[in-house]
């Protein structure tokens, strides 16, 4: 989940130089695509102080990161702080900070491929790309790799939020091709807990970090699974959902309104071949 290009905050250190006191520079507000209201800025300052004792990485004090937590909890400072603290504990207990270097997961990616950050939408949000035809949840469970597949999905969240953060946007687009989805390999009783776990983990630890969640070639039989997963989603996640059937005349114009054609791979209606 590594960088594509940088729109980071600029930190200036001036020694022995006098600054114009009429110019106030708050580095936390620089380098983000977020626009904050005065109420949000005040809430961010309070929230940052509230979570400072249990945030432990530099980016965890950045406004673009913190605002996602606040909006996830409808700007309720206490609720957001409680959720933030629980997530920091989860990260430590599950060694999330080192998940991208996990050698077992790196090997697994060959059997469960996804693409990260090759496409960037017109607003500067990077995209993840995944095809259900390449993922077989049932096979993973029967092979005793259920927990590894869940951890692989978590690593995808971590990679994409890292890419987005390094691009200064703090949000990304999820693109999924549902062609190949079937109840046996993806919607079976052994498979559903993987999807539920992944959904809950995203909501609890990567809130409000997807600007759009787009699926194409969605079969009707996915409906019951989708209805179940929606019950674990926050309001902002539900608002990001955009599911399409197999009619390319419906989903391609939607995607091309968000992305330049050369950014998207051919199976998502673009011209990119890599």
Q: Each residue of 98-145: pLDDT tens digit?
A: 999 999 999 999 999 999 999 999 999 999 999 999 999 999 999 999
* Whole-number Å distance between alpha carbons of 189 and 205: 25
Residue 73 has pLDDT above 60, yes or no: yes
Pairing state between β 126-131 and 115-120: antiparallel
Give the residue-averaged pLDDT of 13-32: 32
> Torsions phi, psi of 256, nearest 5?
-75, -15
pTM here is 0.85
Question: What's the pLDDT band for 28 if we cut at 50, 70, 90?
Answer: very low
What's the pLDDT at 35?
84
What is the side-by-side strand order in the sheet with 126-131?
Answer: 115-120, 126-131, 172-177, 210-216, 241-243
**What are the residues facing 173 on neighbouring strands?**
127, 212
pLDDT at 197 over 70: yes
SS (H, E, C) the chain: CCCCCCCCCCCCCCCCCCCCCCCCCCHHHCCCCCCCCHHHHHHHHHHHHHHCCCCCCHHHHCHHHHHHHHHHCCCCHHHHHHHHHHHHHHHHHCCHHHHHHCHHHHHHCCCCCCEEEEEECCCCCEEEEEEHHHCCHHHHHHCCCHHHHHHHHHHHHHHHHHHHHHCCCCCEEEEEECCCCCCCCCCCCCCHHHHHHHHHHHHHHCCCCEEEEEEECCCHHHHHHHHHHHCCCCHHHHHHEEECCCCHHHHHHHHHHHCCHHHCEHHHCCCECC
CA distances 203 to 126, 220, 243, Å, are 19, 25, 19
Average pLDDT over residues 28-49: 78
């Amino acid at each position: 989940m590594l960088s594509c290009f940088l729109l980071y905050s600029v930190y200036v250190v001036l020694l022995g130089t006098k600054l114009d006191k009429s110019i106030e520079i708050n580095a936390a507000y620089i380098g983000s695509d977020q626009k904050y209201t005065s109420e949000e800025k005040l809430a961010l300052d309070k929230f940052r102080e509230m979570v400072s004792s249990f945030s432990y990485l530099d980016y965890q004090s950045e406004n673009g990161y913190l605002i996602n937590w606040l909006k996830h909890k409808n700007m309720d400072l206490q609720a957001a702080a409680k959720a933030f603290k629980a997530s920091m504990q989860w990260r430590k207990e599950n060694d999330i900070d080192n998940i991208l270097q996990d050698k077992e997961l790196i090997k697994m990616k060959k059997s469960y491929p996804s693409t990260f950050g090759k496409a960037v939408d017109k607003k500067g949000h990077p995209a993840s790309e995944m095809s259900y035809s390449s993922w077989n949840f049932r096979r993973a469970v029967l092979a005793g790799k259920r927990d590894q597949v869940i951890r692989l999905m978590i690593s995808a969240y971590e990679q994409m939020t890292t890419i987005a953060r390094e691009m200064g946007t703090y949000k990304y687009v999820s693109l999924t091709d549902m062609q190949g989805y079937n109840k046996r390999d993806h919607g079976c009783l052994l498979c559903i807990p993987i999807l539920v776990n992944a959904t809950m983990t995203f909501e609890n630890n990567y809130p409000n970090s997807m600007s759009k969640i787009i699926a194409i070639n969605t079969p009707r039989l996915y409906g019951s699974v989708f209805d179940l997963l929606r019950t674990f989603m926050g309001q902002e996640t539900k608002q990001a959902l955009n599911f399409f059937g197999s009619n390319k005349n419906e989903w391609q114009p939607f995607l091309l309104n968000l992305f330049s054609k050369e950014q998207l791979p051919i199976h998502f209606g673009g011209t990119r071949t890599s």
